Amino acid sequence: MAIDSARGAPDVHELDDPELIQLLTPEGERVEHPDYPLELTPDEVRGLYRDLVIVRRIDREAVALTRQGELGLWASLLGQEAAQIGSGRALGEHDMAFPTYREHGVAWCRDVDPLKLLGLFRGVNNGGWDPAEHNFHLYTIVIGSQTLHATGYAMGVQRDGVLGTPNAGATIAYFGDGATSQGDVNESFVFASVFNAPIVFFCQNNQWAISEPLEKQSRIPLYRRAQGYGFPGLRVDGNDVFACLAVTRKALEAARTGQGPTLIEAYTYRMGAHTTTDDPTRYRLKAEEEAWKLKDPIERVKAYLVRNDLADNAFFEEIEAEAKQVAADLRKGCLAMPDPGPMDMFAHVYAEAHPLMTEEQEQFAAYLASFKEVSS
Amino acid sequence: MTTETLTLGKALNAGLRKAMENDPKVLVMGEDVGKLGGVFRVTDGLQKDFGEERVIDTPLAESGIVGTAIGLALRGYRPVVEIQFDGFVFPAADQIITQLAKMRMRSLGALSLPVVVRIPCGGGIGAVEHHSESPEAYFTHTAGLRVVACSNPSDAYTMIQQSIASPDPVIFFEPKRRYWDKAPVDVSAAPESWTPLHRARVVQQGDDVTVLAYGPMVKTCLEAAAAAAEEGRSLEVIDLRSLNPLDIDAVVASVERTGRCVVVHEAPVFSGYGAELAARITERCFYRLEAPVLRVGGFSTPYPPSRLEDHYLPDLDRVLDAVDRTFAW
């Protein structure tokens, strides 16, 4: 018996939803929104364009490195650059970000060397940077787990008594549309709500959780879930870097001043595969990808710059060249990245001595050494 | 020396209080830990004295409790989490196993998570389903965690403080049916003089058979030793105290002397913690063993309805039965 699971379900997309916040159309036209005034200098717009182009180039290089066997896997951000750069550039010095494994653009905004992102995907470590140094936590692979860490961290900021002071920091938790079905994400909404934690939940709804479309996760638009938890939720055009910047800025400031959590649904599209091992041709139509290409997050900024005479060809060429250089450096660094030694797996399991593990470590070292003795 | 006679529950309370007094970053969080003082009253009075910001009544969500504790630890706090009953730790198992245990390695040592997860464990209180379980082996099997179990008021007082001071995450098992057992506790001893957290302790000296136990079974084994003594058999009872890491040297030293060993726990025997003990003792003491290491524990059934728990739980007679069997070889 066929079950009509969609019967009575409202449209989860509501593309013409009047609540979609947009400040820059796909054609590069600036639109005003009464709640989100945004003043950007030409330099700032050019800076955003540079960020977008460079992170896309980093992403492309990482995909290529995977195809060539240098990385075991890569989770591409293609199509989501505006959501990540917009929100990432909204972050202040004291704000803390908790990413998934796809937030390469946010990592760029937090000054994490792109090379360090590759460690996890190359298999040389499980996360190669110090989160405190960048206020950017490690990539988290289990879907949604980090939203609870972010909420706890925000509860810590609250307890530090810094909210409302210049040292106030908000916490931002990144996750995707699929994650919204996870218990942890829903529990983080509950905790954040009842404790009024200074946190922004930034959901990049890229329409696909590997092969499952949004309809498999929700019967209502995701941003509307916030209402049930008792805090504001809003949907922003996730391919509009201006809107993502303005909306995230406002939500972060609300958090810093003790006004509690906000859910932002950045409505975007995963242009590539889920990861390099995925094959989207098995579950979605090319026509859908083509339609989203017209909403490209970079092209609209370029159109805006050109339309307003804020950049010339020389500028675009300069950015291309810089992106190319970043990619070349990334490739070079990746190929030179040393494999860890066999003893490294024991190095950071415990902060204090653990006799049983140490015993195994010593036995394994002796075992490995025995081969050297034989060969010599 | 200031000695107070405390129940195990009160000793935990006193230890928590001390840790909170000594370090403003120590937090207590869980379901009903505030006004109610926890369903076993272990956190009684702490919220009144330390406030709602430090003694946090959380939403009813175990994964959320451990997950937010991880976040608080990342911000520099030392959360002590209460899981209300052993059988309710499983919703938090994902956060404990995939996050809490692995964060340090993931960060190449940059991050420490000094989180203590307190779990009242074991049966014997006539409870309904899910309130009498012994889930220790799930956690001893997870690298990155430390797993300890207290058995008496004095250890409860010191071990909870040592666990809170540990830079590594600690799963702290409390024998719920012993919460009301009383004993003198020296609350003035300097921490340096305490038995180290991961050291086992010989609680009854003997020569004929080594009996290994932890948590609620230590008392049962001490009673078995007293009964055996009346029959002229001398049992050495070791309270392991720490399950991971295991103080294997203390175990080996005893078994080398007695040549016989019985392991006792409430959890099912199959793939239980006793299997690890039996294997290690066999490896280390093979030529000194007069008999195989025998295990006494729960059966390969879910924990039964409480009217049957006296049959399920190891008791004095089942321990002595195993002791007798070690002499059959």
pLDDT in tens, B60-108: 999 999 999 999 999 999 999 999 999 999 999 999 999 999 999 999 9
CA B328 to chain centre: 32
Flag whether pLDDT at A368 surpasses 60. yes
DSSP 3-state assignment of A132? helix
Nearest C-alpha of chain A: how many angstroms from B53?
7
Question: Can you give the pLDDT at residue B141?
Answer: 98
Flag whether pLDDT at B329 surpasses 90. no
Note if the pTM is more than 0.90. yes
Question: Can you give the pLDDT at residue A19?
Answer: 83
Mean pLDDT of chain B: 98
Confidence of residue A1 (pLDDT cuts 50, 70, 90): very low
Q: Which residues of B touch A127 (CB under 8 A)?
A: 106-108
Q: Which of A30, A67, A219, A283 is catalytic?
A: A283
How many angstroms separate the CA atoms of A171 and A95, rounded?
Answer: 6
Question: Can you give the pLDDT at residue A83?
Answer: 98
Question: Can you give the pLDDT at residue A128?
Answer: 84
Examine the residue annotation and report whether A174 is marked as an active-site residue of this protein.
no
Closest CB from A126, A160, A187 relative to B106: A126
CA distances from A168 to A88, B72, B147 (A): 17, 16, 37
CB pair distance less than 8 Å for A351 and B144: no
**Is this complex's ipTM strictly greater than 0.95?**
yes
Topology of domain A20-340 in CATH is Rossmann fold (3.40.50)
Q: Which residues of B touch A351 (CB under 8 A)?
A: 104, 109, 112, 166-168
Question: Can you give the pLDDT at residue A118?
Answer: 97
Q: What is the rounded average pLDDT of the residues A53-68? A: 98
- In chain B, CATH 3.40.50.920 sits at 201-325
Nearest C-alpha of chain A: how many angstroms from B320?
31
**What CATH architecture is B201-325?**
3-Layer(aba) Sandwich (3.40)
Closest CB from A150, A187, A351 relative to B71: A150
How many angstroms separate the CA atoms of B29 and A156, rounded?
Answer: 13
How many angstroms separate the CA atoms of B146 and B100, rounded?
Answer: 11
Q: Which residues of B touch A192 (CB under 8 A)?
A: none
Cβ(A172)–Cβ(A213) below 8 Å: no
Confidence of residue A16 (pLDDT cuts 50, 70, 90): low
Nearest C-alpha of chain B: how many angstroms from A296?
34
CB pair distance less than 8 Å for A355 and B245: yes
Domain range list for chain A: 20-340, 344-375
Q: Within a 13 Å sphere around the CA of B158, how many CA atoms are in the beta-carbon half?
A: 22
Flag whether pLDDT at A375 surpasses 80. no
Q: What is the rounded average pLDDT of the residues B34-51? A: 98
pLDDT in tens, A239-286: 999 999 999 999 999 999 999 999 999 999 999 999 999 999 999 999
Closest CB from A128, A152, A159 relative to B69: A152
CB pair distance less than 8 Å for A351 and B112: yes
pLDDT in tens, A103-121: 999 999 999 999 999 999 9
Of A127-131, B46-50, B238-242, the least confident: A127-131
**What CATH architecture is B3-191?**
3-Layer(aba) Sandwich (3.40)
CB pair distance less than 8 Å for A137 and B74: yes
Question: Can you give the pLDDT at residue A15?
Answer: 54
Q: Which residues of B touch A128 (CB under 8 A)?
A: 108
Q: Which residues of B touch A343 (CB under 8 A)?
A: none
Question: Can you give the pLDDT at residue A376?
Answer: 61
Q: What is the rounded average pLDDT of the residues A308-326? A: 98
Flag whether pLDDT at A13 surpasses 80. no
Tokens, residue A293:
């290409």
Tokens, residue A83:
């959501």
